[in-house]
A and B are shown apart, each in its own frame.
Chain A
Amino acid sequence: MPEITINVKCSNDQKYIVTIDTSKTVLEFKQAIAEKCDTTADRQRLIYSGRVLKDNDTLETYKIAEGHTVHMVKSSAPSGSSQAQASQQSQPATTGNTQTPQQQTGYSPNPFAQFGTMGGFNQGTNPYGTPYGGMQNPLDLLQNPAIMQYMQQMLQDPQFVESMIHMNPQFASMAPQIRQMMQDPEFQAMMSNPETFRTLASLQPLMGNLGPLTGGTIPGFPGYNMPATTGTNPTTNPTTNTTAGNTTGTRSDTTTGSTTTSNTTTPNTTTPITPPINNPFLPFFNPTAAGAAGTGTNPSQPPIMPLFDPLLWGALGGVPPTTTPTTTSAPATSQTSQTPQTPQVPPEERFQSQLQQLNDMGFVDAQKNIRALQICQGNVNFAIERLLDPSF
């Protein structure tokens, strides 16, 4: 069978030249293309002469000849071999990262395995076409409504929480506390509010400077499980201090709230675990209060911020979420259910400047803009990505 050279034209103006036997199937052709570009075979859709090429047909079927051009369109998600199948799948797949996929309710023994399949997280590609992998600020990741919703769904499932607890021996040993923590609405509300993390991130440099004053960074929720220990002497646990301060992202087990909590508690098993006496998360709802706590004006409220060390989150965001169950469980633990609290201000007013921005950019549908901004907590960039999503 003759080998022919086919030009492949991408939707982004890239061109590839593939030499292939005409007796090969379209699927084999796609795989050959995949070797030259970063689009996997299952995400390629090929068009030649006004027809969409089907995986199982050979190139002969379409009478593709030497020097002809095939157009490639990257589909937003893996599509099936047949067009009909593709349509069935690509609809939810397009929104796969933005809406909680329903089929993921059936958790496998390792509920985080699925997490790794979230395209945006793992491969640096997503339906919006921007690589999350390249995102430097993991806070942006947290603000991604898709991740938020995904987490919400997971944490609302008691079964999931259970399996998570059982997966980690440290969790298992303190299962009741974890469970209690998860169910604490304050905790949930705090965790589901990306603004919290933003505030914390902005406070982080400040915290670093205050190191000598506050005894360095203190991981975990000191006030929650062992108020006595950390509340009085934040430096008692040097081990955890170093882990939290480890900016290189060792991330063995410090990435999140619950994990860190388990770390801080485990070495201190002699410390009686007391039920929460007050709400240690209160400062998070008020940046100034948090700042006050952080600067040490309120010694009874030890700084809690370092838990949310952006660098830790960076480490989290920068690693493939398949490394260890602990690591992958991290975001799940801290991202919690329930919608963020919103002030009682009409969205038109609250997002006035953002709406203006969107309007200037040509997004004229005010209702849609508001909806997008609400979902994205006022983040214009994400709202735009939402608005550009055809399924929105």
Chain B
Amino acid sequence: MAKVPRNFRLLEELEKGEKGIGDGTCSYGLSNGDDIYMSDWNGTIIGPGHTVHENRIYSLKLHCDENYPDSPPTVHFLSRINLPCVNQQTGKVEPSKLNCLASWKRNYTLETVLTELRREMSNPHNKKLPQPPEGSFF
């Protein structure tokens, strides 16, 4: 199967993000619409219900370097969050601690990452972790 080049792939993702295809719990888009390399992305995750994250909106930034999608994006939380896979000093999602980043596959997308992070939030071990006040940032 032909490899979809980076930019085509990202364009596809951009369109998907803008049209809101998906379950609506995660959203993403370019942080700078003029960036022709489509490197920097914003993401939001709506906190899953029945957890401490309910009704919260988490903002993230994602960076896709030139090797994307062969290599995973780097992901940072902008909103403060207490999750084992998130570095509490920088907000960086530790690739080694998030399964989809650790064993990245080419067909994974930014949405895959956001959705998995959201799943982490509702993970029984994490869903009751004490959280910093909403709206605080790294």
Q: Which residues of A contact B43 (CB under 8 A)?
A: 50
CA distance in complex: A87, B137 (Å): 11
Q: Which residues of B contact A91 (CB under 8 A)?
A: 133-134
Q: A11-B46, A52-B44 are in contact. Are A94 and B135 (CB under 8 A)?
A: no
The reply to whether A50 and B20 form a contact with Cβ atoms under 8 Å apart is: no
Query: Is B53 positioned at the interface, with any CB of A under 8 Å from its CB?
Result: yes
The reply to whether B27 and A11 form a contact with Cβ atoms under 8 Å apart is: no
The reply to whether B33 and A390 form a contact with Cβ atoms under 8 Å apart is: no
Binds B, one of A41-49, A103-111, A253-261: A41-49
CA distance in complex: A384, B42 (Å): 35
> Which secondary structure dominates chain B's binding surface?
loop
Q: Which residues of B contact A85 (CB under 8 A)?
A: 135
Cross-chain contact of A71 among B27, B50, B60 (Cβ < 8 A):
B27
CA distance in complex: A388, B128 (Å): 11
Q: Give min CB distance, A382 to chain B, whole Å.
A: 16
CA distance in complex: A45, B24 (Å): 13
CA distance in complex: A11, B56 (Å): 12
The reply to whether B29 and A71 form a contact with Cβ atoms under 8 Å apart is: no
Q: Which residues of A contact B41 (CB under 8 A)?
A: 50
Q: Which residues of A contact B51 (CB under 8 A)?
A: 390
- Give the B interface residue count (CB, 8 A): 35
Cross-chain contact of B57 among A52, A70, A94 (Cβ < 8 A):
A52
Nearest A residue to B50, CB-CB? A388
The reply to whether A63 and B33 form a contact with Cβ atoms under 8 Å apart is: yes
Query: Is B89 positioned at the interface, with any CB of A under 8 Å from its CB?
Result: no
- Give the A interface residue count (CB, 8 A): 34
The reply to whether B44 and A50 form a contact with Cβ atoms under 8 Å apart is: yes
The reply to whether A365 and B128 form a contact with Cβ atoms under 8 Å apart is: yes
Task: Find the residue from B28, B31, B44 having the highest chain A CB count within 10 A.
Answer: B44
Query: Is A90 positioned at the interface, with any CB of B under 8 Å from its CB?
Result: yes
Query: Is B85 positioned at the interface, with any CB of A under 8 Å from its CB?
Result: no
Residues on B facing A (Cβ under 8 Å): 17-21, 24-25, 27-31, 33, 41-44, 46-47, 49-57, 59-60, 128, 133-136
Q: When A and B form their complex, which 3 residue pairs have the shortest distance between CB atoms, in order from nearest?
A: A87-B135, A49-B29, A69-B20
6 A-B contacts (beta carbon < 8 Å): A9-B24, A50-B44, A52-B59, A69-B19, A85-B135, A390-B54
